[in-house]
């Protein structure tokens, strides 16, 4: 699954939690469109992105955003 950050403003750090476990799977210091492979089928996943910049920190969480219903690729 590919993800895209649509944040605006000056951002210096992106932290992605792709599977709602509270552990940051990917941290980037340059803009990027990360990918993540979901290994458990027949469930939904919540995804969070925390961005950091001179203006502070902001987090967006999308609950039940990804649904894996078959054999993941």
* CA–CA gap between residue 56 and residue 46 (Å, rounded): 23
Per-residue pLDDT of 29-72, as tens digits, reads 988 889 999 988 899 999 999 999 999 999 999 999 999 987 65
pTM for the full model? 0.85
Q: Which residues contact 65 (CB under 8 A, 6 or more apart)?
A: 44, 45, 46, 47
Residue 44 falls inside a structural domain: yes
- Tell me the residue range of the domain where 33 lies: 13-68
Give a yes or no: residue 64 inside a domain. Answer: yes
Span 16-25, mean pLDDT? 92
The closest alpha carbon to 16, from 8, 24, 28, 6, belongs to 24
Classify residue 6: in a domain, yes or no. no
Taking a C-beta distance cutoff of 8 angstroms, is the pair 5, 14 a contact? yes
pLDDT at 20: 87
């Amino acid at each position: 699954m590919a993800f895209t950050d649509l944040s605006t403003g000056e951002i210096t750090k992106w932290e992605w939690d792709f599977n709602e476990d509270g552990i940051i799977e990917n941290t980037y210091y340059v803009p990027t469109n990360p990918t993540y492979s979901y290994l458990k089928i027949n469930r939904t996943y919540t995804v969070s992105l925390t961005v950091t910049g001179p203006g502070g920190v902001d987090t967006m969480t999308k609950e039940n955003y990804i649904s894996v219903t078959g054999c993941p690729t």
